[in-house]
């Protein structure tokens, strides 16, 4: 049996290494060992689902998930809807710890995205909570609720239109007292589809010839605004998201295939481009929106 050790902290900083590790090895039974997991954010939770799905599809057998020893972590996973989303992806032995408690900081529990109706559901659910969280936690104006909903709608719509495969979205507010000295909202959107290289290839790979790769596809979309459409002005969702995140002094990174590209603010030390990652399918988007400094 192949054993994949989940790191003690699984968030936007460690998720690449975890996804790479999930691809090592061939078919057969797999144990996802999360016993020592002590901290997990939306990126980590959705990455667990994505990795488990890839392992299941490659081997034809559900991987087994060994739950965190921490009942606090188990309770948090339960509140975020992880165990419901993990049905059909993992074989989970034993009932997970169920802990109630406040969900006031949960902006959006893990939500599968498979059809347009899912996108509408996400927007409706977020609008019901976003006003209070964005105002009280981040000090954003009331108008930010609409802009935030547009961002979520765009990234979820991309799963349906470009990935042509299922995906997930989740968002949570945190107090990054030590890391940043401010509250943040962390948003994660992942799918297991064609990725940027596959989506843009028919229209743009010819002009790049031998240089066409996951990295150049990300640069084409993220930096130059190229889309899968031949005419300009269509499919500008990523550019709009990037501009809005920059206005809020936020961070956005996108992994697709073997590369990751990002718009990195001064408070973040994430490299703006990473290449040579394992060829994980689909696209993985992470956004971090910090509180306004005067707030």
Rounded percentage of the chain residues whose pLDDT exceeds 90: 64
- How confident is the model at residue 207, as a pLDDT? 79
What pLDDT is stored for residue 226 in this prediction? Answer: 76
Mean of pLDDT values over 258-263: 97
Calpha distance 204→252 (Å, rounded): 24
Identify the pLDDT of residue 288. Answer: 97
First to last CA, the chain: 51
Question: How high is the pLDDT of residue 53?
Answer: 96
What SS3 string covers 158-195? HHHHHHCCCEEEEEEEEEECCCCCEEEEEEEEEECCCH
Q: 15-22 and 42-59 are packed helices; what angle lies between their axes, rounded to 10 degrees? A: 10
Least confident of 38-52, 91-105, 215-229, 267-281: 91-105
Structure tokens at 201: 């290839």
Q: What is the pTM of this model?
A: 0.92
The 3-state secondary structure of 242-259, one letter per residue: HHHHHHCCCEEEEEEECE
Contacts of 209 (CB under 8 A, 6+ apart): none
Q: Are 149 and 122 in contact (CB under 8 A)?
A: no
Residue 124's pLDDT band, with cuts at 50, 70 and 90, is confident
237 Cβ neighbours under 8 A, 6+ residues apart: 154, 155, 157, 158
Measured CA to CA, the distance from residue 216 to residue 38 in angstroms comes to: 36
Q: What is the pLDDT of residue 285?
A: 96
**What class does CATH assign to 102-295?**
alpha beta
Which regions of the chain carry the CATH code 3.30.565.10? 102-295
- Average pLDDT of the chain to the nearest whole number: 89
Superfamily of domain 1-100: STAS domain (3.30.750.24)
pLDDT at residue number 228: 62
What are the start and end residues of each CATH 3.30.750.24 domain in the chain? 1-100
Rounded to an integer, the average pLDDT of 276-283 is: 96
Better-scored residue on pLDDT, 66 or 104: 66
Does 52 score more than 80 pLDDT? yes
C-alpha distances in Å from residue 266, one per residue of 14, 111, 142: 20, 31, 26
Q: Are 44 and 32 in contact (CB under 8 A)?
A: no
SS3 content of the chain, % helix, strand, coil (to 5): 40, 25, 35
Reported as a pLDDT band with limits 50, 70 and 90, residue 25 is confident
- What pLDDT does 78 receive? 94
- Residue by residue, DSSP assigns 202-254 as HHHHHHHGGG-SHHHHHHHHHTT---SSSSTTSS-HHHHHHHHHHHTT-EEEE
């Amino acid at each position: 049996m192949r054993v994949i050790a989940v790191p003690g902290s699984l968030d936007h900083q460690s998720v690449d290494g975890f996804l790479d590790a999930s691809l090592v090895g061939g078919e057969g039974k797999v144990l996802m060992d999360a016993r020592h997991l002590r901290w997990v954010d939306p990126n980590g939770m959705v990455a667990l689902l994505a990795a488990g799905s890839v392992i299941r599809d490659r081997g034809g057998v559900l991987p087994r998930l060994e739950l965190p020893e921490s009942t606090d972590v188990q309770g948090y996973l339960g509140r975020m809807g992880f165990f419901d989303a993990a049905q059909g992806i993992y074989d989970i032995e034993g009932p997970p710890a169920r802990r109630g408690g406040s969900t006031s900081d949960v902006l959006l529990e893990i939500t599968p995205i498979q059809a347009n109706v899912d996108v509408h559901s996400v927007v409706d659910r977020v609008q019901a909570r976003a006003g209070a969280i964005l105002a009280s936690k981040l000090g954003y104006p009331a108008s930010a609720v609409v802009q935030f909903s547009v961002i979520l709608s765009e990234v979820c719509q991309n799963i349906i239109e470009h990935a042509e495969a299922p995906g997930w979205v989740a968002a949570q507010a945190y107090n990054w007292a030590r890391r940043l000295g401010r509250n943040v909202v962390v948003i994660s959107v992942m799918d297991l589809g064609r990725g940027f290289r596959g989506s843009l290839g028919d229209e743009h790979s010819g002009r790049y010839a031998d240089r066409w790769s996951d990295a150049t596809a990300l640069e084409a979309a993220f930096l130059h605004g190229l889309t899968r459409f031949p005419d300009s002005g269509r499919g500008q969702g990523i550019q709009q998201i990037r501009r809005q995140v920059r206005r809020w002094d936020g961070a956005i990174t996108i992994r697709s295939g073997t590369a990751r590209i990002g718009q990195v603010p001064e408070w973040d030390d994430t490299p703006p481009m990473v290449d040579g990652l394992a060829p994980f399918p689909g696209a993985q988007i992470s956004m971090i929106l910090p509180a306004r400094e005067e707030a």
